[in-house]
Structure 1
Amino acid sequence: MLTSPPVPGDGAVRPSSWKKIFPVMLLGALAGPALAQTVQAWITTGDQTQLLARGADARFHPGARAATIIEVDPRQRFQDMVGFGAAITDASAWLIQNKLNPQQRADLLNELFGKAPGAGFSFTRLTIGASDFSRSHYSFDDMPPGQTDPELRHFSIDPNRADVLPVTKAALAINPRLRVMASPWSAPGWMKSTDSLIQGTLKPEAYAPFARYLSRYISAYQQEGVPIYALTLQNEPHFEPKDYPGMRVDPAQRAAFIGGHLGPLLAKEHPHTRILDWDHNWDAPGSPAEVLKDATANQYVAGVAWHCYGGDVRVQAALHDRWPDKETFFTECSGGKWAPVWSDNLQHFARTLVIGTTRGWARGVLLWNLALDEHDGPHLGGCNDCRGVVTIDSRDGKITRNEEYYALAHASRFVRPGARRIASTSGYDQLDTVAFRNADDGELALLVANSARAPRSFAVRIGQRSFDYTLPATSVATFTWK
């Protein structure tokens, strides 16, 4: 696989430096079909006058006359994509299952997971037991205080049968290519130093039972027709929340647990389920680095998962440069009432969490709650002003598509599983970009975010041809062509 081109400190590749790195020698094959080929455009504007709306078509012509040029080079290939989506939390599943009538439920799930004109989400995340977005705190093997169950005789996924399982199975029926990852917020309380789901760390004597607990979860979901594509051993392992399940697991503990217990067990029982380390913020890249430095754990770790709540997205690429054989996934971020400006949120989610993460080698991009209600819940502890990708009005089932929905759909509708990221210049004249080539039909998809408070005109050049376009202020666009 070719590596990323050298970039300035802000991650941008200026047109002048791009020409020095990649001289334009694309004739014949990369010039593609006739120059008059049509480019389709879909646009979302910060003022919400256009919401994933079909824009004016563009057409290729020889050369490039614009002052700002975005170069797209399909010869430069990077990671292949698993997909984009959001977590089917307990809250999301309960709302979908209980606050929508059957027709509303079918319509929403088809819109979220179905092919165009649906959003085409192809990646989701489940919680192994409760998170703060659950209506009660539970694990799949709770015991009375002071009692233990090392043989897991009381293990059961019954708490998920009323909502999480049926919603996930319905999503899979709509999109059989949907990949499901899962993360625990805590081991069962009896495995922990606090004898509680709240705070604490994993007892050394519980390493083997906890590994079996996670393997049992994979088996139980597999029996229900839900394959678990990837697993993290702990959500946010450097954080011990005081009012909802959590567990601190430092890098030495994670390495010992993965290398000595979880890794060998999954290699035997579930070899197709990936183990991802970290599942926490960009601000502590040294933690997953310590796990990857452990030779025993390293052989079982497929990749690293990242969250957005601290640090800079560019650490993803920096860690990938050190361990290029390890995959990168972005697995959680939430918007909320702390950021009330719609256009700013659209830009943040598109520029940083879709474009930035995939330019930083992410094969999959997940936001947090797929759906919350008009009161930003239900939840028990934790965040009281988080926003779902969609909002479900619990009184009548009305759906509001939030900023996160449009940022995700600009990628998920057009970038299908198996697509390969290709090179594109980015960060010039307040235009951020990422480009992909779909594996099934060779169609190219280019995402462009214009963060300027004014329209921006540019040319997109591929080989010896280009097309011209002007994007409105604070807008996001997806261009597609073959």
Structure 2
Amino acid sequence: MKIFKYIFYSFISFMILSCDIQEEKLVVEVYETSKSGNKLTKLEDYSVEVNSDQLSKVVLKPTEERQTITGFGGSFTESAAYLLNKLSAPNRAKIIEAYFGESGAKYSLTRTHMNSCDFSLSQYSYAPVEGDKTLEHFSIEEDKDDIIPMIKDAMKVSKAGFKILSSPWTASPWMKDNNNWVGGKLLPEYYDTWALFFSKYVSAYKNEGIDIWGFTVENEPLGNGNNWESMHYTPDEMTNFVQNHLGPKLKTDYPNVKILGYDQNREHLKEWVDSQFRNEETSKYFDGTAIHWYASTFHYFPEELQYAHHKAPNKYLIQSEACIDAEVPKWKDDEWYWKKEATDWGWDWAPEQDKHMHPKYAPVNRYARDIIGCLNNYVDGWIDWNMVLNKQGGPNWFKNWCIAPVIVDEENDEVYFTPLYYTLSHFSKFIRPEAKVIAVENSDKDLMITAAKNTDGSIAVVLFNETTMSKNIALTLEEQNVEIHIKPQSIQTIKLLNN
């Protein structure tokens, strides 16, 4: 009888303990940005709606790891840096802190341009002297008034630091077959000079106390419609330049500096990675591939991204540029950024067969959908374009107006943080470099979700509810769970804390 009682009470104790385990709640913090007004707001109450019998089931699978995160961020352009110089010291500091400080977005991966681009005040090159094959007259003096001070200010407030990816829009016109800033190709006789240019740039920035993490070989090698600075390559021409000129030069001078190929829209990604990673000889100097999002306002090209990853699974795949283009910023009008009213270049200029890829869209939706879509398809870094623009969407010497997450009125010293700033922060602030993207099981086709496990053990889950209906979510991690309510048209980051 004693043995029977012992077994009986042991069984009861086990069942009680099992129930306690099953009912153990996840410890979380929830941050939300919504059309209704939240701006990366920490929610004190995220409980599900009373009497709700519909729960979207989300199961995290931290043992199923995917790519390692390189980072998130935006770009140091001459336009952005020039505008910061126009603002009062407090507003300048406010913007730098918002992007790089602990209280802000904590940007970890950035980009800048080498020589001028459309978001410069004028056209310039660090090598202006024609025929200067050994680049004796190379100088980054043009950057010392604006871009370099902006980078240094960011370095001062960034606790963890950030990587800088630099991209040329064009070589000096005298190095090209058309002797022009726009279009044309690099003359073979200047291949070694142009490779030396990259090395000189690293040295010059290092002398300023700034390390360059990597390069893209050429911004938009397919061209930009011959509108502003550009230089054309075919896939095999770029591969040849890297394999026989740029790669060996950087390997000798700066072996830790990364080289990313392509750097344009995703619809042509396959042919570029096929060339770059054809064999060991072609691929040995390529550290990865860079991509842009301008081929569509809604489609993030998952098949192409997966193809690029499987072609070179140990290489970087970084989204290096994105912005709301062909629009003048809407000043202090948060609601517009949530409405499907924006149009892009393709609305007017895309070939007829491609126009279906460029419908009107809501800017917040485009950002949230693209970043989540990228992370769920092996992209490891995501970089926005200009960090700061003015109410006109410039300055831009070509008048190619665009929108940045932060808009300023430089004449009246005012700053507007658009909903795009908060959208980006949901990723950059909580998914940190070296985090591992993990698998997620999601029962709701109308809810976009991605998740990553940080090196400190925390897990960040980003959810995007594009619909006009609120949703209730049952989030499960192993034997723990929590139920969370998400508003219509909103983004949430759920930070799962270590117990």
TM-score (norm 2): 0.84
Q: 2:365 aligns with which of 347, 359, 377?
A: 347
Q: 2:314 aligns with which of 319, 322, 325?
A: 325
Q: 1:196 aligns with which of 172, 175, 180?
A: 180
SS of 2:464's equivalent? strand
Report matched runs for 1:399-438 at 5 Å: 399-426=415-442, 428-438=444-454
**Cα distance change of structure 1 residues 255 and 57 upon mapping to structure 2, 3 Å threshold:** same
Give the equivalent residue in structure 1 for 2:404.
Answer: 388
CA separation in 2, counterparts of 1:58 and 1:404?
Answer: 23
CA separation in 2, counterparts of 1:336 and 1:52?
Answer: 24
How many residues align? The count is 441
CA separation in 2, counterparts of 1:422 and 1:202?
Answer: 42
Deviates more, 1:295-304 or 1:182-191: 295-304
Percentage of pairs with the same residue: 28
SS of 1:162's equivalent? coil
TM-superposition CA deviations, 1:383-426 (whole Å, max 9, x none): 22x10121011112211112321221001111122222111135
Give the equivalent residue in structure 1 for 2:113.
Answer: 127
- Contact in 2 for aligned 1:425/1:433 (Cα 8 Å): no
Amino acid at match of 1:253: E
Structure having the larger proportion of residues in helix? 2
Give the equivalent residue in structure 1 for 2:351.
Answer: none
Is the aligned partner of 1:303 residue 2:288?
yes
Amino acid at match of 1:205: E
CA separation in 2, counterparts of 1:94 and 1:467?
Answer: 47
Is the aligned partner of 1:375 residue 2:383?
no
Give the equivalent residue in structure 1 for 2:264.
Answer: 280
RMSD of the alignment, in Å?
2.2
TM-superposition CA deviations, 1:291-316 (whole Å, max 9, x none): 22154231000101110011633111
Is the aligned partner of 1:244 residue 2:232?
no
Q: 1:148 aligns with which of 116, 128, 131?
A: 131
CA separation in 2, counterparts of 1:59 and 1:199?
Answer: 56
CA separation in 1, counterparts of 2:21 and 2:367?
Answer: 32
Report matched runs for 1:12-411 at 5 Å: 35-47=24-36, 49-57=37-45, 67-96=55-84, 98-115=85-102, 117-143=103-129, 147-175=130-158, 176-285=160-269, 286-293=271-278, 295-310=280-295, 312-314=300-302, 315-336=304-325, 338=327, 341-343=336-338, 344-352=362-370, 354-381=371-398, 383-384=400-401, 386-411=402-427
The alpha carbon displacement at 1:125 in A equals 0.4
CA separation in 1, counterparts of 2:149 and 2:22?
Answer: 45
Q: Which runs of 5+ in 1 are unaligned?
A: 1-27
Q: Which runs of 5+ in 2 are unaligned?
A: 1-16, 331-335, 339-361
TM-superposition CA deviations, 1:199-252 (whole Å, max 9, x none): 111111111000000111111111211111110110000015434211111111
SS of 1:422's equivalent? strand
**Cα distance change of structure 1 residues 222 and 253 upon mapping to structure 2, 3 Å threshold:** same
Deviates more, 1:179-188 or 1:419-428: 419-428
TM-superposition CA deviations, 1:237-270 (whole Å, max 9, x none): 0015434211111111101100000001111111
CA separation in 2, counterparts of 1:324 and 1:356?
Answer: 18
Give the equivalent residue in structure 2 for 1:456.
Answer: 471
CA separation in 2, counterparts of 1:204 and 1:443?
Answer: 51
- Contact in 2 for aligned 1:393/1:399 (Cα 8 Å): yes
Amino acid at match of 1:470: H
SS of 2:380's equivalent? strand
CA separation in 2, counterparts of 1:120 and 1:419?
Answer: 14
**Cα distance change of structure 1 residues 193 and 350 upon mapping to structure 2, 3 Å threshold:** same
Deviates more, 1:206-215 or 1:220-229: 220-229
The alpha carbon displacement at 1:481 in A equals 1.6
**Cα distance change of structure 1 residues 269 and 32 upon mapping to structure 2, 3 Å threshold:** farther
TM-superposition CA deviations, 1:299-354 (whole Å, max 9, x none): 000101110011633111221012212211110011146498411221210121x2
TM-score (norm 1): 0.87
- Contact in 1 for aligned 2:288/2:315 (Cα 8 Å): yes
Give the equivalent residue in structure 2 for 1:16.
Answer: none
CA separation in 2, counterparts of 1:447 and 1:95?
Answer: 32
Of structures 1 and 2, the larger Rg is shown by 2
CA separation in 2, counterparts of 1:337 and 1:289?
Answer: 32
Give the equivalent residue in structure 2 for 1:17.
Answer: none
- Contact in 1 for aligned 2:327/2:393 (Cα 8 Å): no
TM-superposition CA deviations, 1:111-163 (whole Å, max 9, x none): 11011x211111110100111000000111113xxx31101011100000000
Give the equivalent residue in structure 2 for 1:14.
Answer: none
